Structure 1
Amino acid sequence: MKKQHQSSDNSSRIVQGLSNLDDWKRPLFSTLEDNQLALKSIFSRCSDVVFREFQLLDGTNVLCVYVNGMVAQEELELTVIEPLLEGKPIRAAQKRKIQQLDQVASHILEGDTAILADAYREATMVSLQQYEKRSIAEPLTEAVIRGSREGFIESIATNMMLIRRRIRSPKLKAEIMQVGTLTRTDVAVMYIEGLADPDIVGEVQNRIQAIEIDGILESGYIEEFITDTPYTVFPLIQDTERPDVVVAGLLEGRVAILVDGTPFALLAPMTFWVGMQAAEDYYVKYVSATLVRWVRYMFLFIALLLPSIYVAISTFHQEMLPTNLLISVAAARESSPFPAFIEALFMEITFEALREAGVRLPRPVGQSVSIVGGLVIGQAAVQAGIVSAPMVIVVSITGIASFIIPRFSTGFAIRMLRFPMIFLAGTLGLYGIVLGMLALLIHLASLRSFGIPYFSPLAPLKVSHLKDVFVRAPLWSLTRRPVNGMHADRQRMAVDQKPSPEDDMR
């Protein structure tokens, strides 16, 4: 009874001594019983944490602690439990000694297995992690026309492997830190030493380490905390699901940020022109890539300005239309009870609602709802005389144009700016559109992404770096890296790579 009472006193003493999180930061106890009581106090009411006790041949009591579902059970038996019971050393490849109680608890929650023995003030942490994860597949948000069909998954280790497999150089650095007081999410900062600007790398790491939040669930959390200008609709950090896009960014001297639990990686710094480029631009002939880029920029202006230009001309500047076209537009709008400004807002909001509904519904149903819904509502609105047929055509062309922008975040910014441009057109006409475009250009020119001007190399102008902005010059002429940072090594290839035809065919 006396021994049982003493054990109860020890249990009460340990539980009371570990009432706060800061109390966990202490060395392990000298007895297995105290260590077990301490860990059970830390993991109280955690039914998925397994405490397994057994005894060695020499009579030493051993405790094995792990989280059920995060450890490979068969491998644990074969490499840890059986060798210990037979008096042999642990056969696991990855193991280390830890003396701090809080570090033992932290590694257990990360999927490691803790082995504690009586009379030892240290724990052996064995890495036998096994998580359920989906297989590597084609990314859903970035269609692959040509190139690798591998996409990131929710495992940061797998995502780092996909990058490391493509850049087989020790200059590729990967530094992992944990963010979130409760989730302790792994965040990896990857860069190529000698290409990435050390100041930018240090700034990225400092901004991430300065985040104080209870949990990080997706890379969007990191993006919002470290962005230079929080009050802008334009993305200042690129997000992607494709490993080849991340590798291309690393080779340009940019910094990649990977977050455990999400397939979306971040790339910084970013310029406006990156949002208009696709990975396939560098996988096809430069003539085709240049033509496609011109189409993108043309439809960028259509997506931003077409509804507002229609509203301005039909409301204030009818004299700009040819007579026959003006008569057709006037006849089509004769039955409409609303001004063009209200028509445009109604149709644009309806189109955005259909687009959002198509995203939220199950994939096989969502596309049908968005397409059929748009056709049915547009036709019904015209027949009912609520909106005019030209407005339906304008909004439809605008919607198609917004899908041509390759980066979703950039396209979303253009979609948001469309509404204030419509408002300016409905109140001030073309003069309002000009004012809106001037304000937009000033805003874009003032933005920076980790110190890099967002509109570079157009503002500030660097003519020699425009080879990969409005056109995609041949790869053999892109001998120097773009101005995404101050590179220690600006030269990316030899200068004499231009192919030359043979004088004679043999």
Structure 2
Amino acid sequence: MLFQWGMRRQKKQMNDGVQQEGDDHSGEVADVPQEPMSAELAVNIDIIRRATGESDDVVIRRFSLGQEKQMKAAVVFVDGLVDEKNVYEFLLTPLLTASFPLALEEKERLQWIEQKLAAVGGVKHVADWKLLFCELFSGATVMMIDGTSFAICASTKGGQYRSIEEPQTQIAVRGPREGFTESLRTNTAMIRRRIKNPNLWLETMQIGTVTQTDVAIMYVKGIANDEIIEEVKKRLRRIDIDGVLESGYIEQLIEDQTFTPFPTTYHTERPDIVAANLLEGRVAIFVEGTPFVLVAPALFIQFFQAVEDYYARFDIATALRFLRVLIFFISLVAPAAYIAGTMFHQEMIPTLLVIAIAAQREAVPFPAFVEALIMEVTFEILREAGVRLPRAVGQAVSIVGALVIGQAAVEAGLVSSAMVIVVSITAIASFATPSFAIAISARLIRFALMFLAAMFGFYGIMMGLLVMTIHLCSLRSFGVPYMSPLAPFMPSNMGDTLFRLPTWMFRERPRLISQKNIVRQSGDQKPQQPTPSRQGKGDES
């Protein structure tokens, strides 16, 4: 009976705990007291142990202070989050070897330790349990003294991080080879190395009631628009979620419009791209634990620009940009145009080509729409399998699978050879798009255009493109028109859109993004050949 009563009581406590956890959205630990810290060291250590579930990675090191080692003290840190060398050499060793005066008052003790013993940076006093645990699990070391209701938190962040490597998603032929890592401070330091200016401001906040993830915004004061900065801060402060594990969480919670296939926030893992956008007046959002940095506001034309465009000559960059726009258009409408041409508008196709396509489709039992749908879905399956499998195996599966399935489908009479060619060109075009975010948008819209082409032919394609254009013109990114400077049309900012002017002609920043400090360079930067007189003087000398 006693055992059954105990089991029923334990079950009731568990149910009450689950109900209380479901009703409480604050994300705070239930065992952590809301009142200030106690003056007794044993009580404080017991609270830390209960709050952390006596976790093995929470290290508590007790020791004694004073000339006769009469004062009890302790340091607490999380193994793996701190640099143990700094903890033992610059905190524990001075505390164990120093002659601590016992006659000091409570606040004087902490000041004495802070000024004479703590040989690390980021030292501050903490009297609140919530702040203490936030510092502890951010890589700080907490020092507590018996008889003192305060604690000292010293910055000893460390641990293992991935080293700086070349970006995997935005590979450049010419340009820096370093990319962001999962460390927030490493990422912000890479931007500091490129923009050595005190006006580069950084503000950090914690988002996530459980994870307490560090999120930082960076901008150049005097160049960035103050309204955009305040809007970014407002949207970040409005986030109330239990955890943030990647910048995609933030991106989906701060975007202007949810129901759109087009990205309204730009993300990148290249520091040079972030630095260039900061100089144009944009705001960068860094999230701890991810190498992808968000940049806002984002424009539609920005997703067709590659980093090499600014490192190469303007004529080469312009030709490549026109090619990327053509590639995007091909990946968008190629299967739909094939469906419309073969089902409705045969008179628009040259006679010899019509005869060749008709001869190939003679044995195909499906209409062009079903044929294209089968091939597109099959290729999407192969592409997703290639991404999820290990890299060496995934590439082999994608290539071999596409070749084998395509050839087998043609020989079996399920699809025509022309359809395989169209789908292959479409897939290659989607891979050639610089930004994955805009490429996957084209992949989704492609199916809608295929359906409209099967219903109405080229009229359906034009109707779908018109609706897409209207939708693009209605989008905003942090209040900035998504299609600017094309709509609204701004001639002064057209030099860096579908084509790129020479670098010496980039005199102004984008006006809709940066409202002040518009001029970015002087107007006499055009290269000039030496005059004959100067050349003659040079030869004489």
| TM-score after normalising by structure 1 | 0.94
Aligned to 2:323: 295
Rounded Cα–Cα distance in structure 1 between residues aligned with 2:220 and 2:31: 37
Matched-pair contact (CA < 8 Å) for 2:207–2:214: yes
2:37 paired with 1:28: yes
2:103 paired with 1:92: no
Counterpart of 1:28, as a letter, is M
Matches within 5 A, 1:74-473: 74-87=85-98, 89-94=116-121, 95-473=123-501
1:65 to 49, 57, 76: 76
- Once the two structures are TM-superposed, the CA of residue 338 in structure 1 deviates from its matched residue by 0.4
Rounded Cα–Cα distance in structure 1 between residues aligned with 2:411 and 2:202: 60
SS state at 1:165 partner: helix
Rounded Cα–Cα distance in structure 2 between residues aligned with 1:93 and 1:213: 33
- Once the two structures are TM-superposed, the CA of residue 131 in structure 1 deviates from its matched residue by 1.6
Rounded Cα–Cα distance in structure 1 between residues aligned with 2:175 and 2:433: 19
What is the RMSD of the two structures over their aligned residues, measured on CA atoms?
A: 1.4
- Once the two structures are TM-superposed, the CA of residue 34 in structure 1 deviates from its matched residue by 2.1
Matched-pair contact (CA < 8 Å) for 2:32–2:51: no
Aligned to 1:14: none
- Once the two structures are TM-superposed, the CA of residue 374 in structure 1 deviates from its matched residue by 0.8
Please give the per-residue CA displacement for 1:21-45, whole angstroms capped at 9, x wherever unaligned: 4963322212212222222232234
Rounded Cα–Cα distance in structure 2 between residues aligned with 1:91 and 1:34: 24
2:52 paired with 1:54: no
SS state at 2:362 partner: coil
Rounded Cα–Cα distance in structure 2 between residues aligned with 1:81 and 1:290: 61
Rounded Cα–Cα distance in structure 1 between residues aligned with 2:34 and 2:485: 51
Percent of aligned pairs with the same amino acid: 47
- Once the two structures are TM-superposed, the CA of residue 53 in structure 1 deviates from its matched residue by 1.1
- Once the two structures are TM-superposed, the CA of residue 503 in structure 1 deviates from its matched residue by 2.0
Rounded Cα–Cα distance in structure 2 between residues aligned with 1:449 and 1:440: 17
Counterpart of 2:98, as a letter, is G
Matched-pair contact (CA < 8 Å) for 2:507–2:519: yes
Please give the per-residue CA displacement for 1:51-89, whole angstroms capped at 9, x wherever unaligned: 221112431000111112222223222112221121254
Rounded Cα–Cα distance in structure 2 between residues aligned with 1:454 and 1:134: 35
Farther-moved stretch of structure 1 (247-256 vs 361-370): 361-370
- Once the two structures are TM-superposed, the CA of residue 101 in structure 1 deviates from its matched residue by 2.4
Counterpart of 1:144, as a letter, is A
Rounded Cα–Cα distance in structure 2 between residues aligned with 1:265 and 1:74: 31
Counterpart of 1:25, as a letter, is Q
Matched-pair contact (CA < 8 Å) for 2:280–2:514: no
Farther-moved stretch of structure 1 (351-360 vs 261-270): 351-360
Aligned to 2:25: none
Matched-pair contact (CA < 8 Å) for 2:310–2:317: yes
Counterpart of 2:301, as a letter, is W
Matched-pair contact (CA < 8 Å) for 1:456–1:483: no
Rounded Cα–Cα distance in structure 2 between residues aligned with 1:334 and 1:38: 79
Farther-moved stretch of structure 1 (39-48 vs 62-71): 39-48
Aligned length: 488
Aligned to 1:38: 47
Please give the per-residue CA displacement for 1:423-482, whole angstroms capped at 9, x wherever unaligned: 000111111011101100000000000011001111111122211111110010111012
Instruction: Note closer, same or farther for the CA distance 1:147–1:20 as it changes in structure 2 (3 Å cut).
Output: closer
Rounded Cα–Cα distance in structure 2 between residues aligned with 1:110 and 1:421: 49
- Once the two structures are TM-superposed, the CA of residue 484 in structure 1 deviates from its matched residue by 4.8
Counterpart of 2:50, as a letter, is S
- Once the two structures are TM-superposed, the CA of residue 496 in structure 1 deviates from its matched residue by 1.1
Counterpart of 1:77, as a letter, is Y
SS state at 2:495 partner: helix
SS state at 1:203 partner: helix
Counterpart of 2:52, as a letter, is F
- Once the two structures are TM-superposed, the CA of residue 417 in structure 1 deviates from its matched residue by 0.5
- Once the two structures are TM-superposed, the CA of residue 46 in structure 1 deviates from its matched residue by 2.2
Matched-pair contact (CA < 8 Å) for 1:180–1:215: yes
Instruction: Note closer, same or farther for the CA distance 1:483–1:236 as it changes in structure 2 (3 Å cut).
Output: farther
SS state at 1:24 partner: coil
Matched-pair contact (CA < 8 Å) for 2:29–2:51: no
Matched-pair contact (CA < 8 Å) for 1:252–1:484: no
Matched-pair contact (CA < 8 Å) for 1:92–1:126: no
Query: Where in structure 1 are there 5+ consecutive unaligned residues?
Result: 1-18
Instruction: Note closer, same or farther for the CA distance 1:267–1:178 as it changes in structure 2 (3 Å cut).
Output: same
SS state at 1:324 partner: helix
- Once the two structures are TM-superposed, the CA of residue 120 in structure 1 deviates from its matched residue by 1.1
Matched-pair contact (CA < 8 Å) for 1:26–1:102: no
Aligned to 1:492: 520
Please give the per-residue CA displacement for 1:370-398, whole angstroms capped at 9, x wherever unaligned: 11211111111001100000000111111
Counterpart of 1:145, as a letter, is V
Rounded Cα–Cα distance in structure 2 between residues aligned with 1:357 and 1:459: 39
Aligned to 2:104: none
